Chains A and B, each alone.
Chain A
Amino acid sequence: DAKTTQPTSMDCAEGRAANLPCNHSTISGNEYVYWYRQIHSQGPQYIIHGLKNNETNEMASLIITEDRKSSTLILPHATLRDTAVYYCIVRGVTGGGNKLTFGTGTQLKVEL
């Protein structure tokens, strides 16, 4: 699975959009980009995933560049409850089972 690079931390004002970047320059054609988040001491929560088209659901939007080497998770109106560690994960069809490879993620802090 491709390796991802994320900023260690980011701050966002409540009510503003939070834009979380992720670099995955070694991504291959059949690998998906997944985003999870983990609120302190809880299990990771699935947010969204995509292959090459932009995706949107009730939680967030995922923008993937045309060359697929980077992506951005957008939380359109961040609230204090969005404070969490956000993980960008690239996963393809491998022989290693249903494995998700987590990095250290981005600590997003939403403030008043």
Chain B
Amino acid sequence: DAGVTQSPTHLIKTRGQHVTLRCSPISGHKSVSWYQQVLGQGPQFIFQYYEKEERGRGNFPDRFSARQFPNYSSELNVNALLLGDSALYLCASSSYTGGLAKNIQYFGAGTRLSVL
């Protein structure tokens, strides 16, 4: 079975531009979460979507937005890119059965975004 797939794998943008990152969850998983990982740090939570609704949001500016489609795939959009947005963007999928803490998230390989 395919794992979590993300596209593109690498991306180079300039300041002020907009970017869209894509994620396909594991088959049967209805929840997608997005994380940002800057060099030398652990991943930081950005959003979670479940059944096309936002279920959680991290401490990120409004330039960051996301959505989930009927097939449970997801897009992360970042507007007005800053140099500090350069990072590895990770997508994780899970079955997310309500609030059960034993829910396991499985991560994709990420999209490496460089902002010049």
Contacts and interface: CB of A to CB of B under 8 A. Distances in A.
A81 to B, nearest CB: 16
A97 B55 contact: yes
B48 A104 contact: no
Given A98-B50, A98-B56, A104 B107 contact: no
Interface string A54-65: 000000000000
Contact of A43 (B4, B58, B99): B4
B85 to A, nearest CB: 18
Question: Is the interface on chain B under 10, 10 to 19, 20 to 34, or 35 or more residues?
Answer: 20 to 34
Nearest to A32: B101
Nearest to B94: A98
B109 interface: yes
Contact of A45 (B31, B50, B102, B107): B107
Interface residues of A, number: 29
Interface string B31-62: 10101000011111100101000011110000
Q: Main SS of the interface on chain A?
A: loop
Contact of A93 (B35, B94, B101): B101
A97 B94 CA distance: 12
Nearest to A36: B107
A2 to B, nearest CB: 12
17 contacts: A30-B101, A34-B104, A36-B107, A41-B88, A41-B112, A42-B110, A43-B108, A44-B107, A49-B102, A93-B101, A98-B94, A99-B45, A100-B33, A100-B43, A100-B105, A104-B40, A104-B42
Interface of A: 30-32, 34, 36, 41-46, 49, 51, 85, 87, 91-94, 96-105
